[in-house]
Amino acid sequence: MRHFATILSHEIRMSLVSSSTYIAAVLFLAVMGFIFSGVLENYSAAAQETSPAAVFFQLFWLPVFFMVPLLTMKCLAEERRLGTLETLLTAPVSTAEVVLGKYFAAYFLYLLLWASTGGFFYILYKFAGDARFIDLGPLLGGYLFIAVSGLLYVAMGVFASSLSRNQAVAGILSFTLLFGIIIGVRFIDTLEVLNLATMKPFRDAIDYSNVFTHLDDFTRGVVDTRQLLFYVSGTVLALIFSILGVEAKLIHS
Amino acid sequence: MLLPHLPMSVESPAIEVRDLVKIYSGHTAVSKISFTVARGEILGFLGPNGAGKSTTMRILTGYLPATAGEVSVCGVPVATRASEIKKLIGYMPENNPLPDEMRVSEYLNYRGRLKEIPRRKLSLRIDEVLDLCDLTRVRHRIIGKLSKGFRQRVGIAEAILAEPPVIIMDEPTIGLDPHQILIVRDLIASLRGRMTVIISSHILPEIEMTCDRVLIINQGRVVATGTPADLRREVFGQARYDLEISGDIAATLPAALTQIEPTLHIAASGEPDAAGFRKLTLTSVREDDLGDTLLHALAIDGRFRVRALKRAQPSLEDVFLAATKRSWETVDAPAGASKGPTPNVQ
């Protein structure tokens, strides 16, 4: 793991000087700002039971669907297409170091983008001058959920990128995987067939992996170690598959 | 040098390849290649496209696993100790992939850190390498905006950065103009003796001028190996003379030639030009130069008038064409070889 830090700092540096990062960031903040002002409009129209932060984070999947593929689709696919993966792997660097370095660089950017939405709440607090709008519990819970779930989402994006040399394919694949785990699981959860007694184990498994249940728990301040384990184990698995994906392509190239 | 902890035995050859086989999903790219490269030697890899040059190079670097066979670099086996091999090799892949958005010095700095050059030495070494590759002027330029010649030299600078004992370059001169080729050639020649270098190329005079030894590969097999001079002898086995002569050639010249030297034959004959001179190609198995004897004998013979005579040196190109044709077994080697382009040796 000697070169992990070198690759990580290199990747972060490269993405901070690249214009596409800033374009993605502007788009992200525009969408999030739009959502946030929509939420606030609802609150100004009628009294609501939950805090604005809780509603805001309910829509977390929307930016995840386009941000995660955008941030990760390039990382391995582009290196492979340009052939720089070959120069990278013929230096005294292991595949694991390369994948982890790129993964954490993408995760860092993901966190950075989400952290910038903290500005919305600061502006709200500053101009409303009312601490009641800022319910610190759901806010911190929401950001914690974003950080924890982001581990898995970014890892899935890196995995998709390890499978293809085409960025667009990697992007679409990553979108599909994310859609499956966020919306797909939620949809299956609503199936009537799962209510049968014999389907109990499936029902439990689906409930366990329903992202929206996790979000509710986090914003209510419940940090369940089983949910943490779900994301951490999923992340580890996705990263192991990414490393294998890169190496398998070498063996069968 | 850089890696004193590595158990490199000084006596072992820089590269040893034995019965190397690589099969890609049923297609045999390399079949039973064996060769050895001594330390400090510059070896040229020649072969038509798809001959297995790049595959062999990639296996040498530990990037691709071999299907069968043994490869060792400085006595270290590639298959089991790939991580050590990577420290012993400076590799420039085909097409020289470089990150377009980085600056030259930034890139070398990043690569230097990956190659575990101590931080104190790194900036000094980068200055040294930039100077050696004549890149000092462009050190702050963005790689994506450099011309091909500069990019190629950045690739070479990167390969020699960590001063590895073995340098492998896959077509370092491809796409360069003659002036840039000259610079790259000098650069490679300057490594002679200090580092073991393997280069592959299509530009044959290039290989001939830089390399101590040449390895010709076709269809995954070594078809010829040796110094360029050895190869000429091995592949042709005969000396060739180009003669411009007028007179009654068909009837009397063969007999006259046999008198001069029994093994001398007319291999090819051209049409007479306006002045009545024909261009002939003569061949002989005699190794020593017959030019003087031949010219003297023909000049005093009243039946012929000689305008020019020269001994043709088959270029590596001829050798290459002959050797690869021979391995394809579609054309008989000597007959196929004589059709190759003849160099102008004046």
Query: B79 and B71 in contact (C-beta within 8 Å)?
Result: yes
Q: Which residue of A has its CA nearest to B107?
A: A10
What are the structure tokens assigned to B199, written together? 């280069």
For the segment B227-242, the average pLDDT, to the nearest whole number, is 74
What are the structure tokens assigned to B37, written together? 């490269």
Give the list of residues 6+ apart from residue A38 with CB closer than 8 angstroms, or none.
Answer: none
- Cβ contact (<8 Å) for A87 and B115? no
Domain boundaries, given as residue ranges, for chain A: 4-251
The pLDDT score that the predictor gives to residue B304 is: 82
Query: B166 and B196 in contact (C-beta within 8 Å)?
Result: yes
Question: With the C-alpha atoms ordered B137, B143, B147, B149, is the resulting torsion angle positive or negative?
Answer: positive
Chain A contacts to B (CB-CB under 8 A): 2-3, 6-7, 10, 14, 17-18, 82-84, 86-94, 250-253
Residues of chain A with Cβ-Cβ distance to B102 below 8 Å are: 14
Q: Which of A48-52, B155-159, B174-178 has the highest mean pLDDT?
A: B155-159
Distance CA A118, CA A120 (A): 5
Query: Above 70 in pLDDT, residue B2?
Result: no
What DSSP assignment string belongs to A67-132? Answer: HHHHHHHHHHHHHHHHTHHHHHHTSS--HHHHHHHHHHHHHHHHHHHHHHTHHHHHHHHHHH--TT
Instruction: Tally Cβ neighbours within 10 Å of residue A57.
Output: 21
Three-state SS at B39: coil
Chain B interface, mutation test: which of A86, A88, A94, A250, most B Cβ atoms within 10 Å? A86
pLDDT tens for B194-209 read 889 999 887 677 777 8
pLDDT tens for B252-267 read 788 788 878 787 778 7
- Cβ contact (<8 Å) for B91 and A83? no
Q: Which residue of A has its CA nearest to B25?
A: A252
Query: B168 and B188 in contact (C-beta within 8 Å)?
Result: no
For the segment B314-339, the average pLDDT, to the nearest whole number, is 58
- Cβ contact (<8 Å) for A17 and B101? yes
The pLDDT score that the predictor gives to residue B208 is: 78
Range B4-19 burial, b when 16+ CB lie within 10 A, else e: eeeebeeeebbbbbee
- B 111-140 → A contacts, CB under 8 A: 111, 113-116
Q: Which residue of B has its CA nearest to A10?
A: B110
Give the list of residues 6+ apart from residue A15 with CB closer than 8 angstroms, or none.
Answer: A21, A105, A109
Distance CA B70, CA B15 (A): 11
The pLDDT score that the predictor gives to residue A229 is: 93
The DSSP 8-state label assigned to residue B171 in this structure reads S
The runs of H, that is alpha helices, within chain A are: 4-17, 19-45, 52-58, 61-82, 84-89, 95-116, 118-128, 136-163, 167-179, 185-189, 200-208, 211-219, 225-251
Within an 8 Å CB–CB cutoff, is residue B193 touching chain A?
A: no
pLDDT interval class at A7 (50, 70, 90) = very high
Residue B64 buriedness (CB in 10 A; 0-12 / 13-18 / 19+)? buried
Q: Which residue of B has its CA nearest to A11?
A: B110
- Cβ contact (<8 Å) for A83 and B102? no
The pLDDT score that the predictor gives to residue B337 is: 41
Domains of chain B and any CATH numbers:
15-226 (3.40.50.300), 237-346 (3.30.70.260)
Query: Above 70 in pLDDT, residue B327?
Result: no
Distance CA B276, CA B318 (A): 29
**The pairing of beta strand B15-24 with beta strand B68-73:** antiparallel
- Cβ contact (<8 Å) for B91 and A90? yes
Give the list of residues 6+ apart from residue A16 with CB closer than 8 angstroms, or none.
Answer: none
- Cβ contact (<8 Å) for B86 and A7? no
Nearest-by-Cβ selection for A92 from B94, B101, B116? B116
Question: Which pTM was predicted?
Answer: 0.82
Q: Which residue of B has its CA nearest to A98?
A: B114
Query: Above 60 in pLDDT, residue A192?
Result: yes
Distance CA B134, CA A186 (A): 61
